[in-house]
Structure 1
Amino acid sequence: MFQRVVQKSARSAGRLQLQAPRSSRSSRTLHTTPRRCNASLNSTATSFIRSHDKLASVENTPYFIDNAFKQSAATGAQLVDVHDPATNELVTRVPQMTRDELEATIASAAKAYPAWKNTSIMARQQIMFKFVALIRENWDRLASSIVLEQGKTFADARGDVLRGLQVAEAACGAPELLKGEVLEVAKDMETRSYREPLGVVAAICPFNFPAMIPLWSIPIACVTGNTLVIKPSERDPGAALILAELAREAGLPDGVLNIVHGTHDTVNFLLEHEDIKAISFVGGNKAGEYIFSKGSALGKRVQANLGAKNHAVALPDCDKNHFINSVIGAAFGAAGQRCMALSVVVLVGETQSWLPELVEASKKLSVNGGFIEGSDLGPVITPHSKARIESLIQSAADEGATIALDGRGFKPADPAFAAGNWVAPTIISDVKTDMTCYTEEIFGPVLVCVQADSLDEAVELINRNPYGNGTAVFTRSGAAAERFRRTIEAGQVGINVPIPVPLPMFSFTGNKKSVAAGGASTFYGRPGINFYTQQKTVTALWKSEDVVAKKADVSMPTQS
């Protein structure tokens, strides 16, 4: 069972106290407060849920406006049930907020914008420093919320938080990225460029990274002077709420960050509201293409990271053990619910004989509740996701592929998890590129194996795929790696690296159908700063001589 020794901060005493480890199945520590919020908010940095036990009480998830949590007036069918994916026990209910409530959050952000825009970059940077420190302090608390609502293992959930934390850390360097340019373009005349915020912006987040994706927006949007409205996934909103609480504690003024809830109605509200100047979206192609098209048509700036079908190429000269371990981790981590998961492996030449070893190594992974110590992957997010994944596995068999490892029907040994959304690692071989299991994004712990006779054939196969998020090649040959790099059509390339997502000093660089408009507006790094700001150039003339012109010059200025 997941046990943990935590350090409990005794701020009033100015010292650290140790809390003894305990069985996560037998007890849970909940921080009780007078407010009625969901389990994620009824917690502290050192006191949070550590097990999959049924909650004693279930509360609705609040929204966040003017630095306060408020309960929506939504009732009945306007509430979306959120379940622990490991048990399908109810953990909270998420409202489809009313029109008036949504309007109020936008009004709050709009009201806060002028003062926040005029807050100095150094003051905004100091708040970001504090925000980073608070995320680190609440790291395990955030991870716990992710395990409870999304289903990841605790270790993987901590990684979710870390990759978002790194974006927040990089955002502390915004003063360097916001510096303008100046050039003396003529005698006594200079042109300066400035980067200014857009205004009220919005972010629509997916279920698979409940902390990381909000943190792709909160630090950059806010440090550049915008005010932000976030809609977390209705499937797992807890981490976003904790981040809002931490941003408030760090010193973000009222209205700078707001959290709204809902499904299609809320998305359309954000797209249509005239005060929203930009939309950031991460999710599937159907929703993303709709958001990009509608938002752009309404004059909004939109960045959208969409679906994927990421390939790994195994060349015969590669380190076989490293390749097998890398592909297994990248294919089955987070139960395959990553847009950068390696969902296809291209076995070149003699590496096709490595399939049995790949299968045997995959069988050793532990599939269990995320709070259980030693778990390698947890459940998928919902029963609907499980059913969809299993139907795609069946389609492969129906279309002539071989199910080399079948993860359907898996049940953990603990009967408490009998109702969970379990799909164990699955490997499908003898796959052709016209099969449904290849053409569709499965988004589950399923690895599809195709064959190629050469590196060039593998590259041609990958380039025919409409997606272009990421890819990897495993080889000891520098020449082969360089040929792959030059000829492959994917935005993020790994050489012996299975998930080549760059750190925040670069940017998320998917392309083709994986990113709306081919990746013109990418996330974090300098492109993220550019997305959340607009340029202004000012050309000024300051005459150095003290003269009064005898006659106005009415010809076109040449600036020479």
Structure 2
Amino acid sequence: MTTTAFEIGTAARNIIGGEFATGTGDETIDVYNPTTGALIDTLRASSIADADAAVAAAEAAFDDWSGLSLPRRVAHLIKVRAILDENIELIAATTNRDHGKTLEDARGEVVRAMDFLDTAIAAPMIYHADSISIAPGLDARRVRESLGVCLAVTPSNFPVMNTVQFTSWALVTGNTLIIKASEADPIASTTVLGLIQDALPKGVLNLVHGHADIVKHMIAHPSVQAVSCITSSPTAKAIYAAAAQAGKRVQANGGAKNPIVIAEDADIDVAVNGIIMSAYGMAGQRCLAGDRLVVIGDVYDKLLPALTTAIDAIVTGDGAVEGVTMGPVISAGSRDRLLQFLAAAQDQGATFHRDGRDVIPVGQDTAGGYFLGPTLIEGLEPGSDLEAAELFGPVLVIHRVPDLAAAIALSNNTDFGNAASIFTRTGAVAAEYERRVRAGNVGVNTFPGPAAFITMGGYGTSFYGDSHVCGAAPLDFFTDQKLVVTRW
């Protein structure tokens, strides 16, 4: 492992024991700007030795960090929040270049990251011991203790928010943490973690870049006590299985196939706004994004023209250009996967109400970018292998059904269970859908994006593990509870 110096925001490097370091693995990782397709960094992947060094640094820092009082740990997180607040524009610009999302979305991601810090900073309000008198002179109390070294595997779609989300709760509960960032946009993660190192003791928060081999190694490492991840369902399942077999605590968030149901009495304007935000916001690259539109009855005839008009108003291109509302997808591989899906759908006779394959993106040097315009198709067989696939891009598949029962059945025709939405003016319809749909996050006349202090999580193959990642659930995940019985 060799230390290195570079300008934050321009490259990706490991951060081990508070120092930037170049990986020592055999492979390199090329990082591309999704907007232009240009190579912006090449980093050396981490080796097993680098992973061990990160674990050792986190382990060495644990005793002192966990020994701090809760208010002192909170004070460090307050400093972290201030650094993020002071550097919103730098982080947003880096995220725009690294991921491709618009500057508005990137700024929103930093704000959202600070929301997660706020929930952890408020931990003293709920981080308390319970006590009870069992009998005269015999008392019992429950106290919380830190776990030790934790590992978080973060996704490409929110390289700042999810990184800070896991950091907030792991650290406030007295643990030390290693982040393994996505290979697709590692510069954003390096930027945010590099900026906040000065607010934390060395070794408390570490970062490694690399492939599945180092994740598997750290999961099996005896010093790693808990594993968190947000990724695809197959990878989440594999991480869950490996961590559980190793006796580790684990929270593994997977993929989604999220329905949006439009009832016959829906407010069309409200519904269209919700569909646009859900299906095409951030180019559909969110775990809560809707990609299955289920329209009940004759409202279809009013919805479709309004929806296609709204889709036509979306401006696809360089997210740093004013007026652009949707950027590229994260990688050439993601775009190719979506193009293969659309080609297969066309072969199966799908109707393209809007076809984003011929989009001309706004901005300079975008010809080589990974762009797909907002797409709306119809005619796929519900539940077929093609229709049931998670899309994770700006593609929405529309279905027309006769009634609410059919809409619920189609909503539930998936192994996933992350999010579902319904647009209706009738409380009884909303209540029936909420009760019967198998999804962990339900929106009524809105996109079901929760506040950081409210729990969220999926059903089915959308989640594996012991505890969800929002609200107060991380407090239980990142601590052990010890019972102390005393007699005096």
Residue matched to 1:400: 349
Residue matched to 1:243: 192
Is the CA contact 2:316–2:362 (under 8 Å) kept in the aligned structure 1?
A: no
Residue matched to 2:21: 70
Note if 1:364 corresponds to 2:310.
Answer: no
Give distance in 1, aligned partners of 2:173 and 2:356.
Answer: 46
Give distance in 2, aligned partners of 1:158 and 1:511.
Answer: 30
Residue matched to 2:119: 170
Distance 1:414 1:274, change over 3 A: same
Give distance in 2, aligned partners of 1:415 and 1:385.
Answer: 22
Superposed displacement of residue 357, structure 1: 2.5
Give distance in 2, aligned partners of 1:126 and 1:256.
Answer: 14
Give distance in 2, aligned partners of 1:438 and 1:191.
Answer: 55
Give distance in 2, aligned partners of 1:39 and 1:452.
Answer: 52
Give distance in 2, aligned partners of 1:116 and 1:225.
Answer: 6
Q: Secondary structure at the match of 1:207?
A: coil
Residue matched to 2:243: 295
Q: Which amino acid aligns with 1:199?
A: G
Structure 2 matches for 1:498-517, cutoff 5 A?
Answer: 498=447, 500-517=448-465
Distance 1:335 1:38, change over 3 A: farther
Note if 1:488 corresponds to 2:434.
Answer: no
Give distance in 2, aligned partners of 1:88 and 1:165.
Answer: 30
Residue matched to 2:63: 114
Is the CA contact 2:236–2:253 (under 8 Å) kept in the aligned structure 1?
A: yes
Residue matched to 1:344: 292
Superposed displacement of residue 150, structure 1: 0.6
Q: Which amino acid aligns with 1:96?
A: A
Residue matched to 2:474: 528
Higher deviation after alignment, 102-111 or 430-439: 430-439
- The one of 135, 141, 146 equivalent to 2:90 is 141
Q: Secondary structure at the match of 1:523?
A: coil
Give distance in 1, aligned partners of 2:109 and 2:349.
Answer: 37
- The one of 71, 83, 91 equivalent to 2:32 is 83
Residue matched to 2:6: 37
Structure 2 matches for 1:244-323, cutoff 5 A?
Answer: 244-250=193-199, 252-323=200-271
Give distance in 2, aligned partners of 1:93 and 1:351.
Answer: 51
Cα RMSD of the aligned pairs, angstroms, is: 1.6
Deviation track 1:273-324 (CA, whole Å, cap 9, x = no partner) reads: 1111111000101111111001110111110110001111101211101111
Note if 1:435 corresponds to 2:384.
Answer: yes
Higher deviation after alignment, 84-93 or 394-403: 394-403
Residue matched to 1:199: 148
Superposed displacement of residue 197, structure 1: 0.9
Structure 2 matches for 1:171-190, cutoff 5 A?
Answer: 171-190=120-139
Q: Between Structure 1 and Structure 2, how many residues are aligned? A: 485
Superposed displacement of residue 404, structure 1: 1.4
Deviation track 1:20-70 (CA, whole Å, cap 9, x = no partner) reads: xxxxxxxxxxxxxx9643661x5xxxxxxxxxxxxxxxx6x2210121212
Matched-pair identity in %: 34
Note if 1:446 corresponds to 2:395.
Answer: yes
Give distance in 2, aligned partners of 1:314 and 1:524.
Answer: 28
Which structure ranks higher in relative contact order (CA pairs < 8 Å, sequence separation ≥ 6)? 2
Is the CA contact 1:327–1:342 (under 8 Å) kept in the aligned structure 2?
A: yes
Q: Secondary structure at the match of 1:185?
A: strand
Q: Secondary structure at the match of 1:502?
A: coil
Is the CA contact 1:426–1:447 (under 8 Å) kept in the aligned structure 2?
A: yes
Give distance in 2, aligned partners of 1:537 and 1:413.
Answer: 61
Is the CA contact 1:316–1:350 (under 8 Å) kept in the aligned structure 2?
A: yes
Q: Which amino acid aligns with 1:311?
A: P
Is the CA contact 2:315–2:362 (under 8 Å) kept in the aligned structure 1?
A: no
Deviation track 1:468-521 (CA, whole Å, cap 9, x = no partner) reads: 1111110111121111112221111111112x122122112211111115xx41
- The one of 369, 372, 389 equivalent to 1:420 is 369
The structure with the largest helix share of the pair is 2
Give distance in 2, aligned partners of 1:367 and 1:244.
Answer: 30
Superposed displacement of residue 149, structure 1: 0.7
Q: Which amino acid aligns with 1:293?
A: A
Give distance in 1, aligned partners of 2:143 and 2:362.
Answer: 60
Q: Which amino acid aligns with 1:154?
A: L
Q: Secondary structure at the match of 1:163?
A: helix
Is the CA contact 2:265–2:424 (under 8 Å) kept in the aligned structure 1?
A: yes
Give distance in 2, aligned partners of 1:39 and 1:540.
Answer: 52
Deviation track 1:406-446 (CA, whole Å, cap 9, x = no partner) reads: 11132325451111111000001123213344210011100
Distance 1:238 1:38, change over 3 A: farther
**Which structure 1 segments of 5+ residues have no match?**
1-33, 43-58, 543-560
Q: Which amino acid aligns with 2:250?
A: V
| TM-score, length-scaled by structure 2 | 0.96
Q: Secondary structure at the match of 1:503?
A: coil
Give distance in 2, aligned partners of 1:114 and 1:415.
Answer: 52
Q: Which amino acid aligns with 1:323?
A: A
Higher deviation after alignment, 475-484 or 283-292: 475-484
Give distance in 2, aligned partners of 1:91 and 1:125.
Answer: 36
Which structure 1 residue ranges, 4+ long, deviate > 4 Å from structure 2?
none
Is the CA contact 1:313–1:345 (under 8 Å) kept in the aligned structure 2?
A: yes
Give distance in 2, aligned partners of 1:314 and 1:390.
Answer: 27
Superposed displacement of residue 401, structure 1: 2.0
Is the CA contact 1:96–1:266 (under 8 Å) kept in the aligned structure 2?
A: no
Give distance in 1, aligned partners of 2:19 and 2:174.
Answer: 21
Q: Secondary structure at the match of 1:136?
A: helix
Give distance in 2, aligned partners of 1:377 and 1:391.
Answer: 21
Give distance in 2, aligned partners of 1:430 and 1:440.
Answer: 15
Q: Secondary structure at the match of 1:476?
A: coil
| TM-score, length-scaled by structure 1 | 0.84
Q: Secondary structure at the match of 1:416?
A: coil
Q: Secondary structure at the match of 2:158?
A: coil
Largest Rg, 1 or 2: 1
Is the CA contact 1:214–1:240 (under 8 Å) kept in the aligned structure 2?
A: yes
